[in-house]
Amino acid sequence: MTEIKKDDTGAVRISDEVLMVISATAATEADGVLRISGKPGRKQLAKCTSVAVKNKTVTIGLSIAVRFGAKIHEVSADVQKRVKTAIETMTGLSVAEVNVRVNAIVGEKSKPKA
């Protein structure tokens, strides 16, 4: 649990799971990303990323499956940018690193002949 604010009105804390869901959701919005860590479904998003927070600075790790034919370096850079922006905008925390691991390339399913 990361405390982002504490004053005389109370404290605001964000769980690591929330940071994971923000990261995974932002990553799946990048063109060419098919899924996070090969597991579809919102419940799996939090289980498919890693988050480390130290002194209000976040390090994120993501594993993604990329569409065949996509430029992996461009997709990865887009994921990094989207995740960094989402975390910083939504939480006020600073993002030190977004580490992307491409663990699958997925092609289109073959279409049956008519």
Q: Tokens 């990323």, residue?
A: 49
Of 112 and 21, the structure prediction assigns the larger pLDDT to 21
State pLDDT tens for residues 63-109: 999 999 999 999 999 999 999 999 999 999 999 999 999 999 998 66
DSSP element (H, E) containing 102: strand 94-106
pLDDT of residue 109: 63
**pLDDT (mean) for 14-42:** 85
Distances (CA, A) of 75 to 52, 65, 70, 78, 92: 23, 10, 7, 5, 25
Helices and strands (DSSP H and E) totals, the chain: 3, 6
**Higher-pLDDT residue of 59, 8:** 59
- Report yes or no: 34 and 3 within 8 Å, Cβ to Cβ: no
pTM beyond 0.85: the answer is no
- Tell me the Cα Rg of the chain: 16
For the chain, what percent of residues have pLDDT higher than 70? 84
pLDDT beyond 60 at 42: no
- When pLDDT is cut at 50, 70 and 90, the band that residue 45 belongs to is low
